[in-house]
Amino acid sequence: MSTSVLTDRPATPTGRFRLGRTPSLVLLASIVVSLLAASSAPTPLYATYQAEWGFSPMTTTVVFGVYAVAVLLSLLVFGRLSDHVGRRPVLLVALLVQAAALVVFAFAGGVPELLAARVVQGLATGAALAALGAGMLDIDRARGTFANAVAPGIGTGGGALLSALVVQFLPAPTHLIYLALLGVLAVQAAGVALMPETVTRAPGARHSLIPEVKLPRNVRGPIAIAAPVLFAVWALAGFYASLGPALVRGLAGSTSAVYGGLGLFVLAAVAALTVLAVDKRPARTALAIGIIGLIAGVTGSLFAISAGSTVAFLIATGVAGIGFGSGFQGAIRIVVPLVAAHERAGVLALLYVVSYLGLGVPAVIAGYLVVHAGGLLDTAREYGIAVIVLAALAGVALLRRQAPRVQPAG
C-alpha cells in the first residue's frame, strides 16, 4: 500500500467547526482513559457481585479473562480498519458499542449478564484502542507517543479507585458508576463528531478485517525487545485487577471496597507518574528501569505477603508501578517512532495484543489455582515469581538485542 494516501495533518472540512490539533489529541487521550476506566470499574465490585450471586474466585477471573479475549479478537479483526475507513467512524461505532456494554453492566442480574457485558466491552475497547493510538500519532508523533504511554495507567488506576469510592460511599454502586461513565462517553462521542479526520480513506477495508500479523521489517527487532516487557507488566496488572482486591482486603483484614480498588490504583497511578518522570530518558533506559522496578517491586510484595503487612505490600506495589510505567513507556517508545503512518494502527494493535495476552491468560490460570490448588496466598506467591521470571527474560532480551538505528518513519 502506498503511503501517499495518508497524511499526518488533520484535514479539516470547510463550513463546519472542528476541534484543533491539541484539543483533538486531548480528546483522544481522554477516551483511552475512560475506556480503560470502564474496564477496571468492575474490579472493586467483584466482592459485591460474589456476595449477591455466590460465585467463586475462578468465576471472577473468567469474567476478567473473557474481557481480555474479546479485546484480543477485536484488535486482530478491527485493529487495521481505521487505516482504511478513517479514525472517526471506527471511534464513533466503538463508543456506541461501549455505551451498550455499560447499560448491560448497570442492569446486570447475574453472571451471564456480567459475562456478556465484559465481552461487548472488550470488543468495543479493542476496536477503539488501535484507532485512538494511531490518531494521536497522526496529530503529533512526539506528544502522541507520550499520550499512548501515560493514558492507560491513568484510566486503569482512576477507574478502580473511582469505582471503589462509589461502592463505599454512594448509593446503588452497581448502577451509578456505569451510568456516570455512560455520560462521559456521550460527551466524548460529541467531541469525536467535531474532530477532524486525521487519515485519508484508502481501499482495502474489507481485506483489513482478515487477521494478519505482518510487521514492517524495521520494527521486528524493537518488538522482540518490547514484547516480553509488555507481557510482564500487563500480567501484573491482570493480577491486581482480578485477584488483587481479595488479596489486599485479606491482608488488611477489612471488607472495605476502597481496599479492593487500592492495590490497582497504586500500581496504575505510580505507573502514570513514572511515565512523566522517564519521558526524556532514552527508550532503552526506560525499559531497563522498568525491568528492575518490576523485579524489585514484585519481590518486595512477596515478602510483604509473607509478613502479612498491608503497608509493605502497597509500598512494594508502588515500586512495581515504577516498573510498569517505565517498562510500558519504553516498550511503546522503542517501536512506534519507527512506524510509517499507514502502518500505525496495525503495529499498535499488535502491541496491544501482546499486552492483553499478558493481562488475561495468567489471571485466568491464577483463578483456577486459587480454587483447585493452594488458595489465594500461595497463588499470589506463584504469580509473583512468574512475573519476576518474565521480567528477567525481558532483561536478557534487552541485553542481547540492539535496536536497529534507523530514521523515524514519515
The predicted structure's pLDDT at residue 2: 31
Domain borders along the chain are 19-199+217-400
pLDDT, one tens digit per residue, over 71-96 is 888 888 887 788 888 899 999 999 99
As a CATH number, domain 19-199+217-400 is: 1.20.1250.20
Nearest Cα to 228, choosing from 358, 41, 365, 63?
A: 358
In the beta sheet, which residues pair with residue 197? Answer: 11
CA distances from 342 to 150, 187, 348 (A): 23, 29, 12
Q: Coil, strand, or helix at residue 72?
A: helix
Nearest Cα to 140, choosing from 4, 17, 22, 13?
A: 22
The predicted structure's pLDDT at residue 13: 46
Residue written as cell 509478613?
307
The predicted structure's pLDDT at residue 256: 78
Interatomic CA distance for residues 86 and 345, integer angstroms: 11
Residues in the chain predicted with pLDDT less than 70, given as ranges, are: 1-17, 211-214, 341-342, 344-345, 401-410
The predicted structure's pLDDT at residue 109: 86
The predicted structure's pLDDT at residue 370: 78
H helices of 195-334, in order, are 205-208, 220-242, 244-252, 257-277, 283-307, 310-333
Interatomic CA distance for residues 381 and 239, integer angstroms: 11
The predicted structure's pLDDT at residue 284: 85
The predicted structure's pLDDT at residue 216: 74
Interatomic CA distance for residues 178 and 52, integer angstroms: 18
Nearest Cα to 188, choosing from 350, 13, 71, 26?
A: 26
The predicted structure's pLDDT at residue 181: 93
The predicted structure's pLDDT at residue 29: 93
The predicted structure's pLDDT at residue 8: 42
All 3 cell numbers of residue 126? 479493542
Interatomic CA distance for residues 287 and 265, integer angstroms: 22
- Residues 50 and 239 sit within 8 Å (Cβ to Cβ): no
Interatomic CA distance for residues 51 and 71, integer angstroms: 27
